[in-house]
Amino acid sequence: MDTAIAGSLPKPAWLAEPEKLWAAWRQEGEELAQAKRDAALIWIKEQEDSGLSTVCDGEQFRIHFVHGILEHIDGIDWNVKTKMGIRADRYVVDVPTVTAPVARKYSIHKAEAGYVRSHTDRKVKCTMPGPMTICDTIADGHYGSRVEMAMAFADILNQEALELEAAGADIVQFDEPAFNAFTEEAAGWGIEALERAKRGLKCKTAVHICYGYGIEANIEWKKSLGDQWRQYEAFFPALNKSSIDQVSLEFANSRVPGELMRLLPDKQVMVGVIDVATNEIETAEEVASRIRAASEFVDPDRIIACTNCGLAPLPRSVAVGKLRALGAGAALAAKSL
Protein backbone atom coordinates (compact mmCIF):
# COMPACT_ATOMS: atom_id res chain seq x y z
CA MET A 1 0.00 0.00 0.00
CA ASP A 2 1.28 3.46 -0.88
CA THR A 3 2.02 5.69 2.07
CA ALA A 4 2.98 9.37 2.28
CA ILE A 5 2.62 12.36 4.56
CA ALA A 6 0.81 15.60 3.66
CA GLY A 7 4.08 17.53 3.78
CA SER A 8 5.40 19.27 6.87
CA LEU A 9 7.27 17.85 9.86
CA PRO A 10 8.55 19.58 13.02
CA LYS A 11 11.86 21.42 12.86
CA PRO A 12 14.44 19.95 15.25
CA ALA A 13 14.91 22.16 18.34
CA TRP A 14 18.42 23.13 17.21
CA LEU A 15 17.04 24.52 13.91
CA ALA A 16 14.03 26.53 15.13
CA GLU A 17 11.88 26.87 18.24
CA PRO A 18 9.73 23.74 18.41
CA GLU A 19 5.91 23.48 18.46
CA LYS A 20 5.52 26.85 16.80
CA LEU A 21 4.53 27.83 13.26
CA TRP A 22 6.69 30.67 11.83
CA ALA A 23 9.48 30.01 14.37
CA ALA A 24 12.64 31.96 13.53
CA TRP A 25 15.75 30.10 12.40
CA ARG A 26 18.50 29.64 14.99
CA GLN A 27 21.37 29.91 12.48
CA GLU A 28 22.16 32.10 9.51
CA GLY A 29 24.11 32.03 6.26
CA GLU A 30 25.97 28.86 5.29
CA GLU A 31 25.51 27.45 8.79
CA LEU A 32 21.73 27.69 8.35
CA ALA A 33 21.85 26.11 4.89
CA GLN A 34 23.78 23.15 6.30
CA ALA A 35 21.46 22.86 9.32
CA LYS A 36 18.40 22.67 7.04
CA ARG A 37 20.01 19.90 4.97
CA ASP A 38 20.85 17.99 8.18
CA ALA A 39 17.26 18.31 9.40
CA ALA A 40 15.88 17.10 6.05
CA LEU A 41 18.24 14.11 6.21
CA ILE A 42 16.93 13.11 9.64
CA TRP A 43 13.35 13.19 8.38
CA ILE A 44 14.12 11.28 5.19
CA LYS A 45 15.56 8.54 7.41
CA GLU A 46 12.60 8.63 9.82
CA GLN A 47 10.13 8.34 6.92
CA GLU A 48 12.12 5.45 5.45
CA ASP A 49 12.42 3.71 8.82
CA SER A 50 8.64 4.02 9.16
CA GLY A 51 8.24 2.14 5.89
CA LEU A 52 6.67 4.98 3.91
CA SER A 53 6.75 4.44 0.15
CA THR A 54 6.97 8.18 -0.59
CA VAL A 55 9.21 10.62 1.26
CA CYS A 56 9.57 14.40 1.29
CA ASP A 57 11.76 17.07 2.89
CA GLY A 58 9.22 17.73 5.66
CA GLU A 59 9.41 21.46 4.76
CA GLN A 60 12.71 21.73 6.64
CA PHE A 61 13.99 24.25 4.09
CA ARG A 62 11.19 26.79 4.53
CA ILE A 63 9.90 28.87 7.40
CA HIS A 64 6.26 28.60 6.29
CA PHE A 65 4.56 26.68 3.49
CA VAL A 66 3.49 29.84 1.61
CA HIS A 67 6.03 32.50 2.55
CA GLY A 68 8.89 30.06 1.96
CA ILE A 69 8.41 30.53 -1.78
CA LEU A 70 7.08 34.11 -1.82
CA GLU A 71 10.24 35.54 -0.30
CA HIS A 72 12.09 34.60 -3.51
CA ILE A 73 9.64 36.26 -5.89
CA ASP A 74 9.93 39.75 -7.44
CA GLY A 75 6.97 42.12 -7.39
CA ILE A 76 6.15 41.65 -3.71
CA ASP A 77 6.78 44.48 -1.26
CA TRP A 78 7.39 43.02 2.22
CA ASN A 79 7.41 46.51 3.76
CA VAL A 80 3.87 47.23 2.56
CA LYS A 81 1.86 45.13 5.00
CA THR A 82 -1.88 44.91 4.49
CA LYS A 83 -4.20 43.67 7.24
CA MET A 84 -6.26 40.94 5.64
CA GLY A 85 -8.76 38.31 6.76
CA ILE A 86 -7.50 35.08 5.17
CA ARG A 87 -9.29 31.74 4.55
CA ALA A 88 -12.60 33.69 4.53
CA ASP A 89 -11.67 35.68 7.67
CA ARG A 90 -10.66 32.67 9.76
CA TYR A 91 -7.46 34.52 10.68
CA VAL A 92 -6.64 38.22 10.38
CA VAL A 93 -2.95 38.78 9.67
CA ASP A 94 -0.56 41.35 8.25
CA VAL A 95 0.38 40.12 4.81
CA PRO A 96 2.89 41.44 2.25
CA THR A 97 1.54 43.21 -0.83
CA VAL A 98 1.98 42.58 -4.56
CA THR A 99 2.96 45.96 -6.02
CA ALA A 100 4.28 44.97 -9.49
CA PRO A 101 4.06 42.00 -11.89
CA VAL A 102 5.32 38.90 -10.08
CA ALA A 103 8.33 37.03 -11.47
CA ARG A 104 10.70 34.34 -10.30
CA LYS A 105 14.24 35.67 -9.75
CA TYR A 106 15.97 32.28 -9.77
CA SER A 107 15.36 28.57 -9.09
CA ILE A 108 13.85 28.31 -5.61
CA HIS A 109 13.37 24.66 -4.60
CA LYS A 110 15.37 22.77 -7.26
CA ALA A 111 18.47 22.16 -5.14
CA GLU A 112 16.32 20.97 -2.22
CA ALA A 113 14.54 18.45 -4.45
CA GLY A 114 17.88 17.24 -5.78
CA TYR A 115 19.16 16.85 -2.23
CA VAL A 116 16.23 14.64 -1.21
CA ARG A 117 16.54 12.65 -4.45
CA SER A 118 20.20 11.98 -3.79
CA HIS A 119 19.42 10.54 -0.33
CA THR A 120 16.60 8.09 -0.98
CA ASP A 121 15.49 5.38 -3.38
CA ARG A 122 11.84 5.84 -2.40
CA LYS A 123 9.42 8.00 -4.36
CA VAL A 124 10.09 11.69 -3.73
CA LYS A 125 7.26 14.17 -3.29
CA CYS A 126 7.86 17.93 -3.50
CA THR A 127 5.27 20.36 -2.22
CA MET A 128 4.42 23.97 -3.03
CA PRO A 129 1.48 26.20 -2.16
CA GLY A 130 -1.20 26.31 -4.85
CA PRO A 131 -2.11 29.52 -6.72
CA MET A 132 -5.41 30.12 -4.90
CA THR A 133 -3.84 29.68 -1.47
CA ILE A 134 -0.99 32.04 -2.39
CA CYS A 135 -3.54 34.65 -3.48
CA ASP A 136 -5.35 34.22 -0.17
CA THR A 137 -2.14 34.83 1.78
CA ILE A 138 -0.96 38.01 0.04
CA ALA A 139 -2.61 41.36 -0.72
CA ASP A 140 -3.08 42.58 -4.29
CA GLY A 141 -1.95 46.14 -4.92
CA HIS A 142 -1.27 45.59 -8.62
CA TYR A 143 -3.46 43.16 -10.61
CA GLY A 144 -6.90 44.28 -9.46
CA SER A 145 -8.17 40.76 -10.11
CA ARG A 146 -7.58 37.73 -7.93
CA VAL A 147 -7.92 35.42 -10.93
CA GLU A 148 -5.33 37.31 -12.95
CA MET A 149 -2.95 37.32 -10.00
CA ALA A 150 -3.51 33.56 -9.48
CA MET A 151 -2.60 32.84 -13.11
CA ALA A 152 0.59 34.90 -12.77
CA PHE A 153 1.59 32.84 -9.72
CA ALA A 154 0.59 29.65 -11.56
CA ASP A 155 3.17 30.48 -14.25
CA ILE A 156 5.88 30.83 -11.58
CA LEU A 157 4.81 27.56 -9.94
CA ASN A 158 4.96 25.88 -13.34
CA GLN A 159 8.58 26.98 -13.87
CA GLU A 160 9.41 25.58 -10.43
CA ALA A 161 7.43 22.35 -10.96
CA LEU A 162 9.25 21.55 -14.22
CA GLU A 163 12.58 22.00 -12.42
CA LEU A 164 11.47 19.84 -9.48
CA GLU A 165 10.56 17.09 -11.92
CA ALA A 166 13.92 17.40 -13.66
CA ALA A 167 15.63 17.21 -10.24
CA GLY A 168 13.98 13.85 -9.61
CA ALA A 169 10.57 14.52 -8.04
CA ASP A 170 8.12 11.66 -8.64
CA ILE A 171 5.18 13.69 -7.38
CA VAL A 172 4.66 17.46 -7.35
CA GLN A 173 1.99 18.47 -4.85
CA PHE A 174 0.16 21.77 -4.61
CA ASP A 175 -1.25 22.69 -1.19
CA GLU A 176 -4.65 24.33 -1.51
CA PRO A 177 -6.24 24.72 1.94
CA ALA A 178 -7.99 27.82 0.53
CA PHE A 179 -10.19 25.55 -1.63
CA ASN A 180 -12.29 24.84 1.47
CA ALA A 181 -12.93 28.51 2.16
CA PHE A 182 -13.87 29.38 -1.44
CA THR A 183 -15.56 26.25 -2.71
CA GLU A 184 -17.26 27.71 -5.81
CA GLU A 185 -14.17 29.56 -6.98
CA ALA A 186 -12.15 26.40 -6.32
CA ALA A 187 -14.29 24.45 -8.80
CA GLY A 188 -13.75 27.20 -11.38
CA TRP A 189 -10.57 29.25 -11.54
CA GLY A 190 -8.94 27.40 -8.62
CA ILE A 191 -8.64 24.19 -10.63
CA GLU A 192 -7.90 26.13 -13.83
CA ALA A 193 -4.91 27.72 -12.06
CA LEU A 194 -3.73 24.28 -10.88
CA GLU A 195 -3.87 22.96 -14.45
CA ARG A 196 -1.77 25.93 -15.51
CA ALA A 197 0.75 25.30 -12.72
CA LYS A 198 1.20 21.64 -13.76
CA ARG A 199 1.24 21.97 -17.54
CA GLY A 200 3.98 20.01 -19.26
CA LEU A 201 4.66 17.78 -16.24
CA LYS A 202 4.98 14.05 -16.86
CA CYS A 203 5.37 13.08 -13.20
CA LYS A 204 2.40 12.56 -10.89
CA THR A 205 0.67 15.61 -9.50
CA ALA A 206 -1.28 15.97 -6.27
CA VAL A 207 -3.42 18.51 -4.52
CA HIS A 208 -3.58 18.63 -0.72
CA ILE A 209 -6.75 20.27 0.52
CA CYS A 210 -7.57 20.37 4.20
CA TYR A 211 -9.22 22.06 7.10
CA GLY A 212 -5.84 23.26 8.30
CA TYR A 213 -3.26 22.52 10.95
CA GLY A 214 -4.41 21.38 14.39
CA ILE A 215 -3.98 24.91 15.78
CA GLU A 216 -6.42 26.81 18.00
CA ALA A 217 -7.96 29.06 15.28
CA ASN A 218 -8.78 26.01 13.16
CA ILE A 219 -10.11 23.94 16.04
CA GLU A 220 -12.53 26.81 16.87
CA TRP A 221 -13.53 27.22 13.20
CA LYS A 222 -14.17 23.49 12.84
CA LYS A 223 -16.65 23.67 15.74
CA SER A 224 -18.76 26.04 13.60
CA LEU A 225 -18.98 23.68 10.63
CA GLY A 226 -21.66 21.35 11.96
CA ASP A 227 -21.77 17.57 12.19
CA GLN A 228 -20.93 16.88 8.58
CA TRP A 229 -18.25 18.74 6.69
CA ARG A 230 -19.41 18.67 3.09
CA GLN A 231 -17.32 21.54 1.63
CA TYR A 232 -15.45 19.08 -0.61
CA GLU A 233 -18.68 18.14 -2.34
CA ALA A 234 -18.67 21.48 -4.18
CA PHE A 235 -15.41 20.89 -6.04
CA PHE A 236 -14.53 17.16 -5.94
CA PRO A 237 -16.52 16.48 -9.16
CA ALA A 238 -14.49 19.18 -10.96
CA LEU A 239 -11.26 17.84 -9.46
CA ASN A 240 -12.16 14.35 -10.64
CA LYS A 241 -12.41 15.71 -14.20
CA SER A 242 -9.08 17.53 -13.87
CA SER A 243 -5.70 16.06 -14.82
CA ILE A 244 -4.43 16.10 -11.20
CA ASP A 245 -3.60 12.50 -10.16
CA GLN A 246 -3.94 12.53 -6.36
CA VAL A 247 -6.38 14.30 -4.03
CA SER A 248 -6.29 14.38 -0.22
CA LEU A 249 -9.10 14.05 2.31
CA GLU A 250 -9.10 14.03 6.13
CA PHE A 251 -10.49 10.78 7.46
CA ALA A 252 -8.97 10.55 10.97
CA ASN A 253 -11.36 11.95 13.59
CA SER A 254 -12.79 14.30 10.96
CA ARG A 255 -16.40 15.00 10.15
CA VAL A 256 -15.78 14.71 6.41
CA PRO A 257 -18.20 11.97 5.31
CA GLY A 258 -16.27 9.06 3.80
CA GLU A 259 -18.83 8.81 1.01
CA LEU A 260 -17.36 12.00 -0.51
CA MET A 261 -14.46 9.82 -1.70
CA ARG A 262 -16.95 8.33 -4.16
CA LEU A 263 -16.79 11.68 -5.99
CA LEU A 264 -13.17 10.86 -6.95
CA PRO A 265 -13.54 7.56 -8.87
CA ASP A 266 -10.68 8.37 -11.26
CA LYS A 267 -8.15 9.62 -8.69
CA GLN A 268 -5.71 8.22 -6.19
CA VAL A 269 -6.99 9.38 -2.80
CA MET A 270 -4.56 10.45 -0.08
CA VAL A 271 -6.70 9.27 2.81
CA GLY A 272 -5.85 11.01 6.09
CA VAL A 273 -5.58 8.22 8.65
CA ILE A 274 -3.40 10.14 11.12
CA ASP A 275 -4.97 12.92 13.21
CA VAL A 276 -2.71 16.00 13.36
CA ALA A 277 -4.79 17.84 15.99
CA THR A 278 -3.83 15.62 18.92
CA ASN A 279 -0.57 14.50 20.49
CA GLU A 280 -2.05 11.08 21.06
CA ILE A 281 -0.23 8.55 18.88
CA GLU A 282 -2.42 6.15 16.95
CA THR A 283 -1.90 2.41 17.23
CA ALA A 284 -1.19 0.46 14.05
CA GLU A 285 -4.56 -1.27 14.52
CA GLU A 286 -6.41 2.08 14.67
CA VAL A 287 -4.71 3.21 11.47
CA ALA A 288 -5.45 -0.11 9.77
CA SER A 289 -9.10 0.08 10.74
CA ARG A 290 -9.38 3.62 9.26
CA ILE A 291 -7.85 2.34 6.02
CA ARG A 292 -10.28 -0.59 5.95
CA ALA A 293 -13.17 1.84 6.56
CA ALA A 294 -11.98 4.04 3.67
CA SER A 295 -11.86 0.99 1.40
CA GLU A 296 -15.67 0.95 1.49
CA PHE A 297 -15.59 4.13 -0.59
CA VAL A 298 -12.40 3.86 -2.67
CA ASP A 299 -10.71 0.80 -4.21
CA PRO A 300 -7.72 -0.20 -2.04
CA ASP A 301 -5.33 0.12 -4.98
CA ARG A 302 -6.20 3.83 -5.23
CA ILE A 303 -5.64 4.52 -1.52
CA ILE A 304 -2.50 6.34 -0.39
CA ALA A 305 -2.48 6.14 3.41
CA CYS A 306 -1.57 9.64 4.56
CA THR A 307 -1.73 12.17 7.41
CA ASN A 308 -4.73 14.53 7.65
CA CYS A 309 -2.42 17.53 7.26
CA GLY A 310 1.11 18.59 8.15
CA LEU A 311 2.78 17.48 11.40
CA ALA A 312 4.87 20.67 11.83
CA PRO A 313 3.28 22.02 15.04
CA LEU A 314 3.64 18.72 16.95
CA PRO A 315 6.47 17.73 19.32
CA ARG A 316 9.16 15.88 17.39
CA SER A 317 8.72 12.62 19.33
CA VAL A 318 4.97 12.65 18.61
CA ALA A 319 5.59 13.21 14.91
CA VAL A 320 8.01 10.26 14.83
CA GLY A 321 5.43 8.11 16.63
CA LYS A 322 2.78 9.05 14.10
CA LEU A 323 5.09 8.24 11.16
CA ARG A 324 5.69 4.80 12.66
CA ALA A 325 1.94 4.28 13.20
CA LEU A 326 1.22 5.28 9.60
CA GLY A 327 3.71 2.81 8.16
CA ALA A 328 2.78 -0.06 10.51
CA GLY A 329 -0.97 0.54 10.08
CA ALA A 330 -0.76 0.56 6.29
CA ALA A 331 1.26 -2.69 6.33
CA LEU A 332 -1.34 -4.27 8.60
CA ALA A 333 -4.26 -3.11 6.43
CA ALA A 334 -2.55 -4.34 3.26
CA LYS A 335 -2.64 -7.92 4.61
CA SER A 336 -6.43 -7.95 4.78
CA LEU A 337 -7.40 -5.88 1.73
Kindly indicate which of the ranges 71-79, 127-135, 285-293, 306-314 contains the residues binding Zn ion, using the contact rule CB under 5 A. Answer: 306-314
Percent helix / strand / coil, the chain, rounded to 5: 40, 20, 40
Is residue 309 close enough to count as binding Zn ion by CB under 5 A? yes
Residue among 138 and 309 whose Cβ is closer to Zn ion: 309
**Whole-number minimum distance, CB 58 to Zn ion, in Å?**
14
The residue count of the chain comes to 337
Region label for 305, one of left (φ > 0), alpha (ψ between -120 and 50) or beta (otherwise): beta
Instruction: Point out which span in 67-75, 198-206, 207-215, 292-300 binds Zn ion (CB under 5 A).
Output: 207-215
- Report whether 135 contacts 145 (CB < 8 A): no
Q: Which is nearer to Zn ion, 96 or 313 (CB)?
A: 313
> Counting contacts by CB under 5 A, is residue 210 touching Zn ion?
yes
Q: Among residues 1 and 309, whose Cβ is nearest to Zn ion? A: 309
- Please report, as residue ranges, which positions from 241 to 280 form the binding site for Zn ion (by CB under 5 A): none
Point out which span in 89-97, 140-148, 203-211, 282-290 binds Zn ion (CB under 5 A). 203-211
For 193, 310, 321, the CA distances from 275, given in Å and listed in that order, are: 29, 10, 12
Q: Is 7 left (phi over 0), alpha (psi -120 to 50) or beta?
A: left
- Residue 320 binds Zn ion, judged by CB under 5 A: no
208: part of which helix (H) or strand (E)? Answer: strand 204-208
Helix, strand, or coil here: 131? helix
Number of residues that bind Zn ion (CB under 5 A): 2
| Sequence-separated (6 or more) residues with CB below 8 Å from residue 301 | none
Binding pattern to Zn ion, positions 157-196, x when CB under 5 A? ----------------------------------------
Neighbours of 101 (CB within 10 A): 11
Please, what is the minimum distance in Å from the beta carbon of residue 127 to Zn ion? 10
Question: Would you say 272 or 327 has its CB closer to Zn ion?
Answer: 272
Stretch that binds Zn ion, among 202-210, 238-246, 313-321, 329-337 (CB under 5 A): 202-210
- From the list 134-142, 210-218, 288-296, 299-307, the region that binds Zn ion by CB under 5 A is 210-218
Residue 73 DSSP SS3? strand
> Residues interacting with Zn ion, by CB under 5 A?
210, 309
